[in-house]
Each structure stands twice: as structure tokens, then as C-alpha cells.
Amino acid sequence: MAATLGAWAEPATLAIMFAAFGLLLGRARWPLGVALAAAAWAGAAANGHWWPLRHLVEGAFSYLDAMLVIATAMLFMRALADAGALDAIGRTVARAFGRQPLLLLPLVMLIVMFPGMITGSSTAAVLTTGAMASSVLIGLGLAATRAAAFVAMGGVLGMIAPPINLPAMLIGGGIDLPYAGFAIPLALAAFPVALVLAYALGWPLVSGRGLVVPRGAERIEETATPGLARALVPVAVTVVLMLAPAMWPRRVPDPGLPLVFLLATGSVWLVMGRFDRVGALVRGAGDALPVLGILTGVGAFIQVMTLTGGRGWLVALMLDAPSWAILAAAGISLPLFGAVSAFGSASVLGVPFLLALLGRDEIVTTAGLSMLAGLGDLMLPAALAATLATEVAGLPDRRPVLKLCVVPALLVAAAALVMLAFSPEIGRWLR
């Protein structure tokens, strides 16, 4: 077919891949990772490569480093959750700052973000600390819809924030850009917006108006949780193991993130007393498998896009466009494609956008693109972060939550586009 179509071979092959993916995912209801891999095979076959086994396997292992990070991070987060450490931290914060909402709101937002910062997944954030934060905010009088929107946005921003931003890893991996030097740009991208949204969505707690429970009659559920000191030990182990090699590079070897999370998981086992350790490992592996499947399929898809020339065609098309058109296309297409998968959006579209914007401080540009890809978890039809936040808040309908997330999502998109538009200046300022 490639020889017959001539100059149209690359876009036609790309169209076949996307059409096959859409049919398998939407009509046949195949798992996302399997649909991506099958669509990759369809594109290769259309281009004359009927048995592209080598390329599919090679692509499937393209993101092995990221897969090891997220698998071990999921084990760590599940151990923290099952051992009660996350509940202990959340309840302590709520009891200490329940009557000081100016301090409480940013702390709760940080707690919601933490699992996403460690695993690179908004789902992990919403289902672990998000569930606890939702009950705390509702107990203090915040409307359940606002609490759910708070958790949904915290999950998305946690996925964007350092130290682990999986979309940025995937985008950078597409051009062999090492995941180094991202901490400050990602912090600049995520934390100011998170602070603004914490106060915006939790404003009734500050103003005292619109509370479901009148101020002074807060109802924070008391649950049996381990002591705060023990709960903080695994977190401290993680922070030390991450920061020590950067602070003392000649004295402390870098163990690598997968080993850091395994050692941190071991510290949970040592200090947190009795809990179902084997069950935590099994549930953590189960949490990681869907994401690992997506990354496997995305890798195969990108490999075949490269093999058939589709990726190069996309980049060439973008290089001919003015910079404002590239930014506009990124601002629209990355979040929309992220409705299927934020990770797929980062790899399939984020890499060509980064190639088209080379020379504009690649690290800051990648951070901005990862913000747009992360917004996919708020996009219909899946709207994964908002849907899960609605469930953990005990609401029957996600539509009011999605409405509350519209303006915050636009704020995140605006911040991302500012980073993209002024990435050279931001990069020089950060250095």
C-alpha cells in the first residue's frame, strides 16, 4: 500500500492506526494497552510489514525505566495506605489545622498530590489520600461536590508535580532527553496553580459562607491510626534516598528510583506494625498493571509510527506551521487525546510537539506539554480523575464535579501555554 499511495503513505498509515485504535477501544471494548498494540500491528501491516514482531517487542520495552518506577512506586503507596500511614498523616493535619483553613487547605492539597508525585498517576492520588482528604473536607463542612473537585484537581496536579512526572518522562524519552533537571520547572508548573486552586475550591472554609456544617460544629471522623512519627518514617526514608545523591554526589551513590521505592516499602514493613503485607503487595501490583499495559502499548505504537514514517510526517507538518499555531494545536489536542490516556497523549502527540519546538529550552517545554497531557484525566468521556473523585466523595453524579473543574482546568492549560510560549525566557531565569 505504501508504494501505491506514494507521498500519502505516511498520513494514510497514521489514519489507519488511529482508526483501528478507535474501533478496538470504542466498539470492541479492548483494554487500552492491547488496542494500542493491535493498532500498531495494523499500521505496520498497511505499510507492508506483515509480521513486525521485532518492532512490537522493541517498542513494548521502550519505557522499561518508567515501568519499573511506577510499578515499585505503586507497591510503596499501597503499603503506606494499607498500613494506615496516610490516614494517620491526614487526620493529624485535620485535627491540628481544622480551625485554621488558611493553613489547612494547602496542606490537604499537598497530601492529595503526594501519591501522584510519587507514582506519576492521578488515579493513585485520588484513590488513596484523595479518599481521606475528601472525608476530612466534607467533615469540616465543605460541600461534597467541591471536595470532589478539590481531590480531582489535586490528583491531576500531583501527576504533574515532581519528582515523578510520567508524561514528561515519556515525552523526553521520545528524543532521548534524560529525566534530569525537571524538578524546578515542574514545581513551578504545579505548586503555584495548586495553591490557587486549593483556596479557590476550598474558599467556603475560609469565608465561613456556604458551609454544609456550620463552623464550630466540625465532624472529623476518629479512626484507629498509627502514630504520626511512625507514619512519617517511610516518607522520610524516601525523601532522604532521593535527595542525598544530589546533595552529596561524590559520597552517596544514586540507587535509582525503583530501588528507592523498594527500600521505602521495606521501611513501611519494619515500622508500621501489623498489616496484610502480602495483600498489600498483590493490590499494589494490581494497581500498577493497567498503567504498565498502557505504557507497553504506547511504546509499540510509537515504534511503528517511527517505522512507517508517520511520526516524521507529523513533525514535518508542525515545522511548517507558525509557533502560535503549534501552541494552539498543543493546547487543544493534548488534553483531548488524553481523554483516552494521558500517557498515550504524551507519547503519541507530545513527542512530535517537542520536536517541533526544539531550541526553546527542551526541559521547560516538556514540562508545559506534560501539563496539557495531564489534563486528559479530566476530559470526557472517561474523565478518570473527576469520576473517581465523585465516587470517593459518595456522590451519585459526576456532572456537578466536572462543572466545578472547568475553570481550574482552563487555569492549568493557561499556565502550560505560558510556559510553552516563554520557555526560553523561563529557562534562562531558572538557571
DSSP 120-162: S-HHHHIIIIIHHHHHHHHHTT--HHHHHHHHHHHHHHHHHSS
Span of 3-12, 116-125, 128-137, 419-428 with lowest mean pLDDT? 3-12
User: For position 141, what pLDDT does the model report?
Assistant: 86
Summary mean pLDDT of the chain: 86
- Is residue 83 a part of any domain in this protein? yes
CB count, 10 Å around CB of 3?
Answer: 8
User: For position 31, what pLDDT does the model report?
Assistant: 86
Q: Count how many domains the chain has.
A: 1
143 CB-near residues (< 8 Å, 6+ apart) = 204, 210, 212
- Is residue 2 a part of any domain in this protein? no
Confidence of residue 128 (pLDDT cuts 50, 70, 90): confident
Q: Smallest Cα–Cα separation from 78: which of 136, 113, 127, 133?
A: 127
Tens digit of pLDDT for each residue in 288-308? 888 888 888 888 888 898 888
Question: Rounded distance, CA 94 to CA 104, Å?
Answer: 7
Q: Is the pLDDT of residue 243 over 50?
A: yes
Residue range(s) defining the domain that contains residue 389: 9-217+224-430
- The residue ranking higher by pLDDT, 208 or 214, is 208
Q: Is the pLDDT of residue 267 over 90?
A: yes
Q: Is the pLDDT of residue 1 over 70?
A: no
Confidence of residue 97 (pLDDT cuts 50, 70, 90): confident
Tens digit of pLDDT for each residue in 37-88? 999 999 999 888 888 889 999 988 888 888 888 889 889 888 988 888 888 8
Tens digit of pLDDT for each residue in 388-426? 899 888 888 889 999 999 999 999 999 999 999 999 999
Confidence of residue 217 (pLDDT cuts 50, 70, 90): very low
- Is residue 285 a part of any domain in this protein? yes
User: For position 69, what pLDDT does the model report?
Assistant: 85
For residue 71, give the C-alpha cell: 510499578
191-197: list long-range contacts, CB under 8 Å, 24+ apart: 191/161, 192/415, 193/157, 193/411, 193/412, 193/415, 194/106, 194/109, 194/110, 194/113, 194/153, 194/154, 194/157, 194/161, 195/106, 195/109, 196/411, 197/109, 197/150, 197/153, 197/157, 197/408, 197/411
- Is residue 41 a part of any domain in this protein? yes
Question: Rounded distance, CA 418 to CA 416, Å?
Answer: 5
Confidence of residue 7 (pLDDT cuts 50, 70, 90): low
- Is residue 33 a part of any domain in this protein? yes
User: For position 63, what pLDDT does the model report?
Assistant: 80
Question: Rounded distance, CA 418 to CA 373, Å?
Answer: 15
Confidence of residue 222 (pLDDT cuts 50, 70, 90): low
